[in-house]
Amino acid sequence: MVKYILLFATSFILSQAVGQSVDSVRTAILDSVSIVEADTLDSAMVTQALPVKFDSTAYYTRELSFTRYLITSEQYQDALFLLSRLEAESASASSEQRDSIRFMMGWVNYFDQNFEESIYLLSKVSDDSEISTQAKFYKSICFVYLREYDQAKQNLNEITLDSGSLEWELKMFQLGAIALLERDYNSFDSLSPYFSENHFQFSIEEQSMLIYHEELSSYKRKSPWIAGGLSALFPGIGKFYAGYRGTPFGAMYMTLPLALVAIEAVILAGVLSPQFLVLGALFGVFYVGNIWGSALSVFSIKKEIFNEIDRNIIYDMHIPLRRVFWQ
């Protein structure tokens, strides 16, 4: 009996020892696997954390190309937002890229008709930049829109170009247009011989400038005395003489019925009757106003005609810039 008990005890002790050994081996194996996995994970993390070289040239080229797309789509606010972000992070950009950002910000403000802001931004483009010439052209036309013609001419005269080149002739064209806006016909006559009409970008506009010059310089203002005298004889005719075609009939329809009613009142009630005094005074106001308005109409129609020509001149200055510098 004692022999069996000793045998059982010995077997139990041996099994416990073997179990502990297996557990130790298993633990060691698991620890080694964990170490390998940890080393592999750390290696992967280190690999991912390695710095990637940033290509700023490609980045700004891509972003500016997208900005140009936004501008052509007339999404000016989105373009300005993107450009403002690029300017804020432009420390890593080259000087040429920074000039491009400033130019495009001025460009967007020009298209959005924020001319003063456009002038400020375009002025920040370096004089030695490749886009300095187009920046000065756009800055000049911004001054034209603000009717600051001396500043516009100064910016154009600062541009040095090869005589006979496309951009040089564009400069002559712009200066000639400004001369028309200033009614300086002598200056235009000295610049118009340089309009070769050989460049498709603005050959039609050069022809138009010659037509505008002829219309402006040959315009003869009608006489205010004749206009007033004609309206005194027959209401509204003076405005027709001045050049208006629709308004004379309005003056006629307002004045003639009052004249007929006043005549009827004087026939029925007499010259001193209240009816005639009221109607006669009312007719007198419209009659005198008709004469005075006809006399002034010769000045107002001249202003309207010249303003319309000025708008056409500025528009014809704008179109060539888009054709020449749109990239």
CB 139 within 8 A of CB 171: no
Judged against a pLDDT cut of 80, whether residue 180 lies above it is answered with: yes
Are residues 142 and 239 both part of a single domain?
A: no
Residue closest to 108 by CA, chosen among 77, 66, 150: 77
CB 295 within 8 A of CB 214: no
Q: Which of 216, 232, 255 is the last residue of a domain?
A: 216
Question: What range defines the domain where residue 263 resides?
Answer: 224-315
* Structure tokens, 302: 């001249």
CB 130 within 8 A of CB 150: no
Q: Is residue 2 part of a domain?
A: no
Q: Which of 187, 216, 245 is the last residue of a domain?
A: 216
Which carries the bigger pLDDT value, residue 24 or residue 137? 137
Residues with Cβ within 8 Å of 249's Cβ and at least 6 positions away in sequence, in order, are 236
| Overall residue count recorded for the chain in this entry | 327
Q: How far, in Å, are 57, 59, 86, 103, 243 from residue 63 at the CA level?
A: 10, 6, 8, 14, 54
Judged against a pLDDT cut of 80, whether residue 186 lies above it is answered with: yes
pLDDT in tens, 152-173: 999 999 999 998 899 999 999 9
> Sorting pLDDT into bands at 50, 70 and 90, what band is 266?
low
> Sorting pLDDT into bands at 50, 70 and 90, what band is 327?
low
pLDDT in tens, 203-251: 999 999 999 999 999 998 888 898 888 877 877 777 888 887 766 666 6
Mean pLDDT of the chain: 79
Are residues 140 and 228 both part of a single domain?
A: no
179 burial class (0-12, 13-18, 19+ CB within 10 angstroms)?
buried
CB 276 within 8 A of CB 265: yes
Q: Is residue 155 part of a domain?
A: yes
Q: Is residue 31 part of a domain?
A: no
Radius of gyration of the chain (CA): 43
Cα dihedral 168, 174, 179, 182 sign: negative
pLDDT in tens, 8-67: 444 444 444 444 443 453 444 335 444 444 444 344 443 343 344 445 667 777 888 888
What is the rounded CA–CA span in Å between residue 22 and residue 20?
5
Are residues 186 and 234 both part of a single domain?
A: no
- Furthest C-alpha separation in the chain: 165
Average of pLDDT values for 310-326? 93
Q: Is residue 309 part of a domain?
A: yes
Average of pLDDT values for 103-110? 91
Give the three-class secondary structure for 48.
helix
Are residues 131 and 238 both part of a single domain?
A: no
**Number of C-beta neighbours around residue 249 at 10 A:** 14
CB 56 within 8 A of CB 93: yes
Are residues 192 and 111 both part of a single domain?
A: yes
- pTM for the model stands at 0.74
Q: Is residue 152 part of a domain?
A: yes
Q: Is residue 138 part of a domain?
A: yes
Are residues 264 and 300 both part of a single domain?
A: yes
pLDDT value of residue 164? 87
Which amino acid is residue 183, in one-letter code? R
Q: Which of 170, 196, 216 is the last residue of a domain?
A: 216
Are residues 202 and 91 both part of a single domain?
A: yes
pLDDT value of residue 230? 82
What is the rounded CA–CA span in Å between residue 242 and residue 237?
9
Average of pLDDT values for 280-288? 74
**Number of C-beta neighbours around residue 220 at 10 A:** 6
CB 126 within 8 A of CB 99: yes
Q: Is residue 65 part of a domain?
A: no
Are residues 237 and 206 both part of a single domain?
A: no
Q: Is residue 13 part of a domain?
A: no
CATH number of the domain residue 198 falls in: 1.25.40.10
Are residues 240 and 210 both part of a single domain?
A: no
Residue closest to 316 by CA, chosen among 190, 188, 174: 174
Which carries the bigger pLDDT value, residue 186 or residue 46? 186
Are residues 228 and 208 both part of a single domain?
A: no
Residue closest to 290 by CA, chosen among 254, 241, 245: 254
DSSP code for 91: G
pLDDT value of residue 273? 75
pLDDT value of residue 246? 66
Are residues 201 and 244 both part of a single domain?
A: no
Q: Total structural domains in the chain?
A: 2
pLDDT value of residue 145? 97
Are residues 203 and 230 both part of a single domain?
A: no
